[in-house]
Structure 1
Amino acid sequence: MHNEAITTRKMLSRVPPEKFDWQPHPKSMTLKQLAAHIAELPGWVATALTTNELDFERNPYTPQDVKNTGELLDFFEASLKSGKQSLAEADANILTEDWVLRNGIHIINTYNRYGVIRMAYSQIVHHRAQLGVYLRLLDIPIPGSYGPSADEK
């Protein structure tokens, strides 16, 4: 978690607020939506460990509204802290318990809690790669993830 957080923090720090509304395609998220989603994902760990389900009908998704890069990074740090704390306090025996993603009576998927945590980390890496493409298209230097980037050589 530590190394991934460092990489995510570096990527999010490059997001310029003056480009928050930019999107590479009408079907794509805006830069702000994508960055805020990445920032919230560590908090999914807490959700997986402290709830039995997420029901979009009862809890409609409301993305975090960040105004600048500082707020984006603060949101990420709060989400990361929540995820780390929940993980540190969790009883390992609950990791195999079912956790449900639903929209009212429609069950989207059933995972075990470990699967939700794994999915959250996979989503971070996936969306961070998307963010790298967004930054490249905006001609913003990309920090290295698992070694130096082409901009750092």
Structure 2
Amino acid sequence: MSIKDGFLVELERETNSTRRIIDRLKDEDLAFRPHEKSMSLGALIGHVVELHNWVATALTKNDFNLQTDYKPFKPSTVAELKQALDEGYKANEQTLNTFPEDEWFKTWTMRVGDYVIGEMPKLGALRFVINNHLIHHRGQLTVYLRLLDIPVPGLYGPSADEQK
């Protein structure tokens, strides 16, 4: 199995997990904030969706500058979230299918202006900056669902709400 093939499996499964959360949301849920210091549910799920889509938008660059290459995704409806996730999945799949194997080992830099946040091989960037980051925030979303009394979907096995 190639690196690409492994990431294609992960891409499909993680996208489906995020979709299961989005499918449980209503537009009015997007304004929910569990605390004044917390992001709204809409901002948080928007960030998760945009992180998915960084496979095609950020990983294809060698230098990703948050100041010039990044515009936060601010959805106002669940339909926008679904559309962005679905369109992003197609772009991500195409990106991975055409990504040269040697490209995984090239250095990827993340910065804000001239300040370098980190440098690592693109292989590490996909795992650490994109996937682990979105999984972390998706975990936060499950807490938001619980607080809203929305049944939490099982993401890596059955959830308490799916137990009999």
Instruction: Give TM-score scaled by structure 2 length.
Output: 0.85
Does the 8 Å CA contact 2:108/2:120 hold for their aligned counterparts? yes
CA distance in 2, matches of 1:40, 1:92: 24
Q: Which amino acid aligns with 1:139?
A: D
Structure-2 change in CA distance of 1:125 and 1:58 (3 Å): closer
Pick one of 109, 112, 115 that aligns with 2:124.
115
Q: Deviations over 1:28-68 (max 9, x none)?
A: 11100111111112221123442111112333x42223222
Q: Which runs of 4+ in 1 moved over 4 A?
A: none
CA 1:74–1:26: 2 relative to 1, 3 Å = same
How many residue pairs were aligned? 152
Partner in structure 2 of residue 98 of structure 1: 107
Match of 1:42 among 45, 48, 52: 52
Q: Tell me whether 1:133 sits opposite 2:152 in the alignment.
A: no
Higher helix share: 2
1:121 aligned partner, one-letter code: N
Of 127-136 and 142-151, the range deviating more from structure 2: 142-151
Task: Letter of the 1:21 partner, please give it.
Answer: A
Aligned-residue sequence identity (percent) comes to 39
Q: Give unpaired runs (5+ residues) of structure 2.
A: 1-9
Query: Contact 1:100 / 1:107 at 8 angstroms: preserved in 2?
Result: yes
Residues 8 and 128, structure 1, Cα contact 8 Å, conserved in 2: yes
Matched to 1:82, the amino acid is: A
1:15 corresponds to which residue?
25
Q: Distance in 2 between matches of 1:19 and 1:8?
A: 16
Match of 1:28 in 2: 38
Question: When the two structures are superposed, what TM-score results if normalisation uses the length of structure 1?
Answer: 0.91
Aligned counterpart for 1:62 among listed residues 62, 67, 71: 71
Is 1:77 equivalent to 2:99 in the alignment?
no
> What is the one-letter code of the residue matched to 1:149?
S
3-state SS of 1:101 partner: strand
Aligned AA (1:36): G
Give the letter for the 1:42 counterpart: H
